[in-house]
Amino acid sequence: MAVVDVFVECNEAVQRGDLIARANRSDKEFHFQNWIALRLNSLALNYDAPSRNTYPDFRLVATTVGFEVKGLEFPGRITDFDCNSQIPAGHHNGRTIYYVFGRYPKSNENTYPVLDLVVCHGDFLNARHDYIHRNKSFRGFGSYGDILVRDRKMYVAPTPFGLLDGIDRQVTLILPDSEPVDSRVRLVGEVDRVETQKIVTKYTFDLITNDLTTTEEPNPTAGTTHGFKAYRHADAPQTEVKLKRRPVTPTTEGDDS
């Protein structure tokens, strides 16, 4: 029930008007993480301290649960997000992974409210668990043959705001339909995600033309339906949550730097 505990605490913090605080205007990464850390601290949930290169951001100590935190500035890019070197999924290294998406207003101030928030099981974003991310490199590029080329992958995945209707200005929990909850939350929607017919299994990059070519193969689990349920706090509005008619397909290019 750790995820329900965290969800309820986040909902109460939003209702209280607990503000996100950033150290300065250059703090573009850790301010919402710090807001989540306060929620975990209030629940006395021990966790490994997050750092820039850890995944997920918060790894609970007493249970195999982790939380990956994504703050989204509004207005701004809210329908997809960069996954730096780690594809989203509901399980990683023996842990169940939940994503926490929080939207906050674009502001020049150093404190601001949480506009809406979604806690979702990672399988809602991607249900594939067999893929293992690895960065590769090779040497031999350039006129003297001594330049190293690094293949450092970045993934761009849809956020719940790009996939769902009915979550704006709400605090919502998205779980697999088999995952238990308690009376602190109530059901506000049921959503199915269906696996695609083909999956990308290979890509090549032409260093002369800069063309990127992908190879697709039949998905061995094509058509599999993954069912999810949407919940809100028992006292929250009962706005229905449903899949968008045309869910957003991420098209944003990653940072080329």
90-137, pLDDT tens digit by residue? 999 999 999 999 999 988 888 999 999 999 999 999 999 988 888 899
The model's confidence at residue 1, banded by pLDDT at 50, 70 and 90, is confident
Asked whether 35 and 20 are in contact (CB, 8 A), the reply is yes
Average pLDDT of the segment spanning 2-16: 97
What band does 257 get if pLDDT is binned at 50, 70 and 90? very low
Q: What average pLDDT does this structure show over 186-207?
A: 95
**25 has pLDDT over 80:** no
Per DSSP, what are the bridge partners of residue 148? 139
pLDDT at res. 256: 44
Nearest to 118 by CA among 40, 232, 248, 252: 232
Average pLDDT, integer, range 5-30: 87
Q: What is the helix (H) or strand (E) element at residue 187, kind and residue range?
A: strand 185-194
Residue with the two structure tokens 């070197």: 85
Q: How far apart are CA 177 and CA 228, in angstroms?
A: 5
Percentage of the residues of the chain whose pLDDT score is greater than 70 = 93
pLDDT in the model for residue 29: 67
- Greater pLDDT, 154 or 190: 190
Q: What is the pLDDT of residue 7?
A: 98
Check pLDDT > 60 for residue 176. Answer: yes
Instruction: Output the six-digit token pair for 250.
Output: 């991420």
Given pLDDT bands bounded at 50, 70 and 90, which one contains residue 26?
A: low
Asked if the model's pLDDT at residue 14 lies above 80, the reply is yes
Of the listed ranges 47-51, 182-186, 192-196, 240-244, the least confidently predicted one is: 47-51
Question: Is 99 in contact with 163 (CB distance < 8 Å)?
Answer: no
Over residues 164-171, mean pLDDT: 97
* Average pLDDT value over all residues in the chain: 91
- Which of 102, 22, 47, 92 has the alpha carbon at shortest distance from 69? 102
Q: C-alpha distances in angstroms, 131 versus 3, 196, 207?
A: 25, 16, 26
Span 191-199, average pLDDT: 96
- Please tell me the predicted confidence (pLDDT) of residue 247: 65
Report pLDDT for 110: 86
pLDDT of residue 104: 95
